Amino acid sequence: MDISYWLDTKDKIQFPSLGENKETKICIIGGGMTGLSTAYYLTKLGYPVILLEKDRIGEHTSGNTTAKITSQHGLFYDYLLQSLGEKQASQYYFANEQAIRNIENIVQKENISCHFKRQNSYVFTEAEKSVEKIKKEIKAVEKIGGHAKFVKDLPIPVSCKGAICFENQAQFHPYLYMQGLANCITNQGGQIYENSKVYDLKSNRDFYEIITEKAKIHASIVILSTHYPIVNFPGFYFMKMYQEVSYLIAFETQYANWEGMYINDEQPTISLRKTESGLVLLGGQEHKTGEKVPLKDRYTNLEVRAKNLFPDAKVHYKWNTEDCIPLDKIPYIGEFSNLMPNVYVATGYKKWGMTHANIAANIITDKIQGKESPYADVFDATRLKPIKNYQELIQMGKQVGKSFVLDKLKMPKELLKELQPEEGKILEIGGQKVGVYCDNQRNYHFVKPVCSHLGCELTWNPLDKVWDCPCHGSRFSYDGESLEAPSIKHLEKIEGGDIS
């Protein structure tokens, strides 16, 4: 139940881990939709490319998406028009429209069987007061040269007061598509290595040194496609983004005789589409990573909503994923920093990564070739925008005390006995904060609950049994293993302590 519908397949291709030092022209760090798309285009042009993935390709955010391929990203274009102006709002729209065509072309040219299908996409409202907002969005889309239409009735069982329709958008099976890209990359001479986590990136005079656990790579060009950049300075992306968790269920119903992709404008979010097998995906219930909210209610709320819409709904899958949210709502694509030449970045997709991954692949490929991209300006990764609010900065600066060894302290046995199996908690022990997890055998695992990224205080996530960072969205297993970027180092374990 805790694996996404897309990843529940027995036909996964596998790649070796990096076991020896190598040299290449281009090294791509991150094997999701962006890394694979970029490697596809670059190897197509004959560039020597090595792609490194810390786990398995496509199994993080890209394999846990709704997989809508659309230029309709909520009610967004009126905001773009007002904040950026007509030129850049138009760039954003047409970049996404081009990405849909690009993906379709790749599917057809490479004969990738991934259930690609053109679909109309809708943003609807169930509130009469929001109808004017829908109509205002349509005018904004038309002003920048796009096409949208007003719709009153929808085939799904919601009390729609009005909706904006983008015609001829698309959907697919993202993992099958990424497998197809991977096959193309290796057939074109590219190299892919899984289970090859990058721990450091060092700059030399003529090349960059990419350091993994077992080997190093020397490359003249580096592309950071790790969802959240694993390099902090000088890019400072941790000052310009945060992460949100969203939840999805996939269920069976006899009432799935409709087409299209849907999302509402209200909170809580309702996102709907069907899979090629007829299951319905229902998503929403998002919150900031690490926020202290009743996490166990998230899936329950989605299941209740599913039953309200489709009374016979039978849930087969449920999962969640993280997405990077830029403060100005625009992805960062292009040069990582003016101070690090030949390093590129793509991040901050704000939950619309299928088209943005292709946009990023094309912009970065153009830049490597020395070509001008018609869409690069709006996504400029080095643009200057206001940093987070003061509350974010205060949270980012939180630190837990210095390292210590637990057996030098008096153990609060009574507090530990209160922990239930599979429960984690931050306890105060000898004036220090300690992250404690109790497993099913009542063994205790102790970590220093300080994010290895920038030292923020962690929170316990009882739903996924992980430690979450509320600052930038890093995640760690109950015993401190780094799971999600931007962290690349494990938590400090605390050994010792007499708990008998």
Confidence of residue 374 (pLDDT cuts 50, 70, 90): very high
Asked if 130 contacts 265 with a C-beta cutoff of 8 angstroms, the reply is yes
| Whether residue 403 has pLDDT greater than 90 | no
**What are the start-end ranges of the H helices in 273-329?**
297-309
Query: How much is the average pLDDT of 102-118?
Result: 98
Buried b (16+ CB within 10 A) or exposed e, 360-399: bbbbbbbbbeeeebebbebbebeeeeeebeeebeebbeee
- Enter the tokens of residue 106: 């790749």
Break the chain down into helix, strand, coil percent, rounded to 5: 25, 30, 45
pLDDT value for 108: 98
| Beta pairing partners, 247 | 284, 320
pLDDT value for 224: 96
| Whether residue 437 has pLDDT greater than 80 | yes
pLDDT value for 402: 41
Q: In sequence order, what are the residues at sequence separation of 6 or more whose Cβ sits closer than 8 angstroms to the Cβ of residue 332?
A: 237, 240, 241, 326, 345, 346, 347, 348, 379, 380, 381, 383
What is this structure's pTM? 0.85
Dihedral sign from CA coordinates of 370, 374, 375, 377: positive
CA distances from 218 to 25, 173, 243, 295, 462 (A): 8, 34, 31, 43, 41
Helix (H, G, I), strand (E, B) or coil at 85: coil
* Alpha carbons 153 and 145: distance in angstroms, whole number: 25
pLDDT value for 53: 97
- Enter the tokens of residue 143: 């002003």
* Alpha carbons 380 and 196: distance in angstroms, whole number: 29
Query: How much is the average pLDDT of 70-99?
Result: 96
pLDDT value for 277: 93
CA angle 325, 231, 366 (to 5 degrees): 75
Domain annotation for the chain: domains and CATH numbers: 1-67+173-240+327-388 (3.50.50.60), 395-484 (2.102.10.10)
Query: How much is the average pLDDT of 77-86?
Result: 94
Q: 99 φ, ψ to 5°?
A: -65, -35
pLDDT value for 412: 63
User: Is the pLDDT higher at 461 or at 398?
Assistant: 461
Q: 350 φ, ψ to 5°?
A: 55, 40
pLDDT value for 496: 54
Query: How much is the average pLDDT of 487-492?
Result: 81
pLDDT value for 298: 87
Q: In sequence order, what are the residues at sequence separation of 6 or more whose Cβ sits closer than 8 angstroms to the Cβ of residue 399?
A: 450, 455, 457
pLDDT value for 404: 44
Model confidence over 339-350: pLDDT tens digits?
899 999 999 999
pLDDT value for 400: 36
Query: How much is the average pLDDT of 402-421?
Result: 59
Identify the weakest region by mean pLDDT among 12-26, 166-180, 243-257, 418-432. 418-432
pLDDT value for 410: 56
| Whether residue 93 has pLDDT greater than 70 | yes
| Whether residue 378 has pLDDT greater than 80 | yes
pLDDT value for 78: 95
* Alpha carbons 371 and 335: distance in angstroms, whole number: 14
Model confidence over 112-127: pLDDT tens digits?
999 999 999 999 999 9
| Whether residue 454 has pLDDT greater than 80 | no
Q: What percent of the chain has pLDDT above 90?
A: 64
| Whether residue 387 has pLDDT greater than 80 | no
Identify the weakest region by mean pLDDT among 207-211, 234-238, 352-356. 234-238
Model confidence over 286-338: pLDDT tens digits?
888 877 767 678 889 999 999 999 999 999 999 999 998 998 899 999 999 98
Confidence of residue 10 (pLDDT cuts 50, 70, 90): low
Confidence of residue 388 (pLDDT cuts 50, 70, 90): very low
* Alpha carbons 244 and 322: distance in angstroms, whole number: 5
User: Is the pLDDT higher at 498 or at 137?
Assistant: 137
| Whether residue 478 has pLDDT greater than 50 | yes
Query: How much is the average pLDDT of 150-170?
Result: 96
CA distances from 165 to 104, 111, 138, 464 (A): 20, 29, 9, 36
Residue 163's closest CA among 94, 263, 257, 69? 263
Residue 277's closest CA among 97, 45, 9, 488? 9
- Chain-wide mean pLDDT for the chain? 88
Helix (H, G, I), strand (E, B) or coil at 443: coil
* Alpha carbons 153 and 310: distance in angstroms, whole number: 18
